[in-house]
A and B are shown apart, each in its own frame.
Chain A
Amino acid sequence: EAQVTQNPRYLITVTGKKLTVTCSQNMNHEYMSWYRQDPGLGLRQIYYSMNVEVTDKGDVPEGYKVSRKEKRNFPLILESPSPNQTSLYFCASSLNRQGRQFFGPGTRLTVL
């Protein structure tokens, strides 16, 4: 089944403890992206990747890192999480930059 998966789906952590949220797609998509969703703010793009080893900042990249070593995976790294990074995170992918975006199921992160 063609899909975008994220792990973990739920995470409660403490300030400063490094964490990684994984994103994987099995559709051989070139383009992948990370968003955060906060009440009243809609979706905001964190980082995106046009292909392997090609990444760029979205609108809210501060405090986040990404890597794209393989086509199928696009992990989101929080080196030192802070409470203002408490949010619902979505990964998305599309065949290419102009293709239809498919979203993962979301990861709800709470930073205490």
Chain B
Amino acid sequence: GENVEQHPSTLSVQEGDSAVIKCTYSDSASNYFPWYKQELGKRPQLIIDIRSNVGEKKDQRIAVTLNKTAKHFSLHITETQPEDSAVYFCAASRTNFGNEKLTFGTGTRLTIIP
């Protein structure tokens, strides 16, 4: 089955700086890669996703890049703010861009230092 590795497990950045979280996946058939944000004690929320037919997607301060050859994808957050502090999860699916069979990474705890 699919295996998703996520790094780093914890990340602290100064407010205003950029943060990058990286994930690698094992199954070359994976084609859908969502990112979820989970604030302390709250439910996960989808923040951005990318499908394998594109290499990059951006939504305001967040962007995701995908390298299918190397089988890795990354989340980039620019101009970080205190409200960006949360645990971020990457995931991969090999079911034709669907939510079924989603395999998640183990999470990155991002702390923004004021």
Contact = CB atoms under 8 A, between A and B. Distances in A.
Interface of A: 31, 33, 40-45, 48, 50, 56, 58-59, 90, 92, 94, 97-101, 103-106
Contacts, number: 55
19 contacts: A31-B99, A31-B100, A33-B99, A33-B100, A33-B102, A41-B106, A42-B89, A42-B104, A43-B102, A45-B101, A48-B99, A50-B100, A97-B95, A97-B99, A99-B99, A100-B46, A101-B46, A103-B44, A106-B43
A108 to B, nearest CB: 10
A101 B101 contact: no
Interface of B: 1, 6, 34, 36, 43-46, 89, 91, 95, 97-107
Nearest to B107: A42
Contacts of B97: 98
A98 to B, nearest CB: 5
